[in-house]
Structure formats: C-alpha cells, structure tokens
Amino acid sequence: MKILLPPSEGKTPASSGDPLDLDALSAPDLNPHRHTVLTQLKQVSGREDALDVLGVGATLADDVARNVEIDSHPCAPALLTYSGVLYEAMGAPELVAAAEANESLAAKLREVHVFSALFGHVHGLDPIPAYRLAMKTELGQLGKLTSWWKPTLAQTFRVDPAEVILDCRSSDYRAAWPGPKNQVVTLGAIKENGSKRSVVSHWAKYYRGDFVGRLLADERPLPQSHDELLGRASEHYEVEYAEAAGSKPAALTIVLRD
C-alpha cells in the first residue's frame, strides 16, 4: 500500500542537520528534475517580484528569502518538515521518533509519499529543508509546475498493479499524478446536519491525518485491498465508500454528524 499526502503550505525549518543532498533522497531518477526546479526557485526567489511570482504575501518574505540559499540549510525528515493540521492529527513527530527503534514502522513511513512542487515526491523519512513553493506556481521558464511535473511523474512514480493507493492529496497535486483509477482511493470527510452536507476544509485535513496516523501506528500491516482499507476505516468512523466510476477513482468518505 502507498499513502499519498499533500505538502503543507507552512513548513518547520530544522534547527540542525545536514544540508540538502539530493543523492540522499529516495527516487534518485528524479534528481535531475529536482535540480532544475531548485535552480529556478533560487533564481526567482532572489528577484524583486519574488513574492508575486510565488503567490505569497509580505508576511512570508523571510520564507522566500530562505529559498535563495535553500541548499545550505539543515534538513529534517519530511514528516517533521511539513506541518499543519493534517500532520499534527497524524502524530507525525511521534511516528518519526518511534521509527528510529522500529524498522517495521520505518518501512511504513517509507510508503508515505508527500508530493512536492520542489522534489516531485519524497517519502516520509527523506531529509529535506523547509521551502516555499506551491505546485500551482508558474516558475520561471518551467511554467506551471503541475504541468511540468506531470509527464515526469507518470514515468517515474511506479506502483505495483496489486497495490492499494490511499490518496489524501489536494487537487493540484492529484493533477500532477492522478494514478491508476482502479487502485486509487481518495479520502475525504463531510459534515452532516440533518439533510444538509458540507465539506469543511479544516476537518477534512484533520481526519485524513487522523486516519493515516492510525494506519501507521497500528501493529498490523497496511491494508492490502480496498475492502481491508474500508474495514480499517469503519473501526474508527462512520464511513461511506463509492466505487470507481468513469474517470473518478474510488472514494472513501468519513461522515461527521453534528
């Protein structure tokens, strides 16, 4: 099973650690592409219009300035570098700490893939620095990164035909690598109040992280089929499941009632 996560907009800079080494990351066939994006990001981030190009406000100027020297900053495991609701609900720091003495858990964390505008994708324990770059950005000569990464990821992110793929990503990152629809299961959450249903972004992120954290912390192996995945989710939540139809993959939805 593979678990696909979006990156967080906010990231936690490491206080210590080695600087970025692309050769230390998984998926080494992506390194030429990572180097290309890294070079463009450093150039764009040093321009006067960097905030506009990267689509951020003045309050994030320090983050953009950090991009200029990104490859000299210390790195930490991806699951510690990314932050926010999903990663907090997942219990990422506790999982990474426990994995140091638990190879079975470490192997699970290497099946967690965070899709990234800078790196294409990294697994949960890959050492990366904090950076500021979104997949929807039009970056210098590369254009929109969703489109730029898509053909590369189609060729390089390979999955076994029997694998289940739990997809917790947002639309920009799904567009960069949709995956085989008969294997992908998207995960979402809705709130129900009487006959009214609504999607609340905060809670969708929270419950995606919560469920992923439960799967990883469970002593059992990760689910090996859609039915097993549905069964695991049903142990903790009220859920609905929709089979793949047309161009849409299967969907697992956590139902929250007021």
**pLDDT truncated to tens, each residue of the chain (258 aa)?**
999 999 998 899 999 999 999 999 999 999 999 999 999 999 999 999 999 999 999 989 989 999 999 999 999 999 999 999 999 999 999 999 999 999 999 999 999 999 999 999 999 999 999 999 999 999 989 999 999 999 999 999 999 999 999 999 998 899 999 999 999 999 999 998 877 888 878 889 999 999 999 999 999 999 999 999 999 999 999 999 999 999 899 999 999 987
- Please state the domain count of the chain: 1
Give the whole-angstrom CA distance, residue 246 versus residue 181. Answer: 9
Instruction: Find the domain containing 149 and state its range.
Output: 2-257
User: Is the Cα torsion angle 187, 193, 196, 198 positive or negative in sign?
Assistant: negative
Average pLDDT of the chain to the nearest whole number: 95
* Closest-CA residue to 156 (of 128, 121, 108): 121
Q: Which amino acid is at 249?
A: P
Task: Output the pTM of the full model.
Answer: 0.95
